[in-house]
Amino acid sequence: MADPAVYNTVLKETKTIQTTTQEAGLAAALAGLSDDPGNPDNWSLIPLIPSPTGCLCVWNASDRFGCGCNCAWTVPAGASKVQFQLWGPGAFNMNGMCCAGSPTGASGAFASVIVDATPGDAYTLCSGCASCCYGYCSQGYAYCGSPSYVNGPGLTNLCAESGHSRISCGMKDLHSSYGQCRWRGVGSSEQSGPCICASGTWYCFDNSCASCGAIPFIPSKEQVYYGTATTGTVYGLPAVWGGGCFDTNHYGYMVSPPVIGPCHTAQPNSCCCHSFTSGSCCGGCRCKASAGYRCYPGSGAHFTHMMGGSMYWSGDYGRAGMVRVTWC
């Protein structure tokens, strides 16, 4: 028969090892999500509720996929765990004038948490609104959509913010300094790349004298996720801008950032590269959600590419946010 004192000592040491391992795994998960949020390989580190028995999605898929909606939800009888997943709305963009354009709008931030459930508890679920209209070059302004959020027992300030429509803010985050006036890549000269115009909402090739250098996906330092839970850890991703690269002819490519899906994998075809080798115009409102483009919550607007003074269409709007609830 085992000595009770020895048994208790071994049990205590085992629990200590398990706790240390769990804490190390949590730290690794959070570090991976923070260092490279645009990499879908890291998204599997965000836990999913096991074997869910029910699901509710709050998302306005009508009205051009742009507006938000809300509802009240009560934890059903028999539920012991609940997962809340929040997508902030994506950012809109502008068309630009002459040889100009906008990269793919920033995706909305994302948040997820699994909490202990108490049947009968009531929650307010709100999916954020992206924008109510198309962006066009003479507007000269940019704004953020409304955040997606959940209010209720055991949660404090749980929300996912929208993407930002000012590409100058993306340049500030990429180069870690204010006053960025060109759309340019890491390591490039401050005088390279197209000029950022109209209050930072689109780029133009006036006076551009060099290629922009490769611009990667840019995680936002301001449009992020928030919140705490009494019985769970809040994981998430910040808003992410798309990238690309052009030469002085405005030939090159645009890359759309991946958008996280309900199973914490990339939405199909959300990350894609579009190349330009001639004076073609494309994107913007002609690639809107109602035409079948980027029809998933939290996606930023489709990029725009304008050549030869064309002004025949507007920019695109971002897609609305969503709140998804699963329980078991």
Question: Do 164 and 239 meet the contact criterion of CB atoms below 8 Å apart?
Answer: yes
Read off the pLDDT band of 109 (50, 70, 90): very high
Q: Average pLDDT in the 188-195 region?
A: 82
Distance CA 263, CA 27 (A): 21
Answer positive or negative: Cα dihedral of 195, 198, 199, 202.
negative
Output the pLDDT for position 208.
57
Task: Evaluate if residue 249 carries a pLDDT over 60.
Answer: yes
Q: Average pLDDT in the 286-293 region?
A: 80
Supply 328's token pair. 């078991």
DSSP string, 195-206: EEETTTTEEE-T
Output the pLDDT for position 64.
57
Label residue 26 left, alpha or beta by phi (over 0 means left) and psi (-120 to 50 means alpha): alpha
Does the reported pTM lie above 0.75?
yes
